[in-house]
Structure 1
Amino acid sequence: MTTTLRFRAAHHDDVPAIVALVESAYRGDASRAGWTTEADLLDGQRTDAREIAELLGSAHTRLVLAEREGSLVGCVVVKDEDESAYLGMLSVRPMLQGGGVGRALVAEAERVARDELGHRTMRMTVITQRDELIAWYARLGYTPTGDTEPFPYGDPRFGLPRRDDLVFVVLKKAL
């Protein structure tokens, strides 16, 4: 029997658990248990306690947690930008990926963007080499805008690239 997800805003005492969750979803061998791993593209960290604390301290950012039976199973960042909201750092515990947690988190992020922040569009960026992930977002209604953004090479806070052709594609969805 599947138990219901509970969503809540993250707090500063959640920082260590959020960092561990995000790292497990994107980096290292643990991330290979799920399908969202970036381990073949990037080494190093995906986030750290400083970045999460900065996100929590920003009046323009919401960090939404998904819990099941009191355990953290996912998170997503929603940033209040000028013309749209930005969805980022979508993370689901690797062994739970493919079970609907990510889809539910995206729906909650869209609700926050629309109902709490007053936006009519959601924007995100995905590394262009992540075809399977881009296709998943397309099934949720996100479409490429034709724009790209550079990968932050030279800044180890965002990972250590294993290749020199990383770039972000911009996706958008009307809410």
Structure 2
Amino acid sequence: MELRFAKVFDLPSIVQLINEAFSVEAAFKVGDRIDIEEVKGLFDKGYFLVLEEDGILQANVYLELRVERAYLGLLSIRQDRQGSGFGARLMAAAEKLARESNCRFIDLRIVNLRKELSLFYEKLGYRVVGEEQIDAEIQAKFTQSAHFINMSKDLAHN
């Protein structure tokens, strides 16, 4: 299993992986989680770390370095590989990169309807720091009312 930074040629596979991993949101959200243009935009601003096995992406996470705070998102693991430790491995790699880049904190946000995610991130040392309303354009894609939960981890104390 190789852990590496994504390259431009990985972007279509990243889109597919994210949409597969986030397909559980179909219970409350219409449409795909992300498209190629969004992934290209993120790729230009930050990093996708990927786990690859036999030429196939198994998992990815997005990290954007923002001075002393890093932003992490889109942690995605192939459905048939979930529970294999890939998520924790990618999170550790992203946190290490953020620390090495002199970030003191790492932030993420999850939708409140995915209750299992807050438990996962809490086990990794993230704490809820607030809530954020979803803008109307994004909320229109949801079939029920939702909001974001903001979580953060102090990298200096880990």
Aligned residue for 1:144, secondary structure, equals strand
Matches within 5 A, 1:1-175: 5-27=1-23, 37-58=24-45, 61-115=46-100, 117-145=101-129, 147-155=130-138, 160-163=141-144, 165-175=145-155
| C-alpha RMSD of matched pairs (Å) | 1.6
TM-superposed CA distance for 1:10, in Å, is 1.0
Mapped to 2, the partners of 1:82 and 1:152 lie a distance apart of 25
TM-superposed CA distance for 1:70, in Å, is 2.8
TM-superposed CA distance for 1:53, in Å, is 1.0
8 Å contact 2:59–2:77 — kept in the other structure? Answer: yes
Cα deviation, 1:63-122, whole Å, max 9, x if unaligned, reads 11111233210110101124410110100001111111111111111111111x211211
Aligned residue pairs, count: 155
Q: Percent identity?
A: 32
Aligned residue for 1:42, secondary structure, equals coil
Mapped to 2, the partners of 1:154 and 1:121 lie a distance apart of 29
* Structure with greater helix share of residues: 2
Mapped to 2, the partners of 1:11 and 1:172 lie a distance apart of 27
Return structure 1 stretches of 4+ with deviation > 2 angstroms: none
2:42 is matched by which residue type in structure 1? Answer: L
TM-superposed CA distance for 1:56, in Å, is 1.6
Cα deviation, 1:31-63, whole Å, max 9, x if unaligned, reads xxxxxx2121212111111111111222xx111
Mapped to 2, the partners of 1:91 and 1:153 lie a distance apart of 25
Change beyond 3 A, Cα 1:93–1:112: same
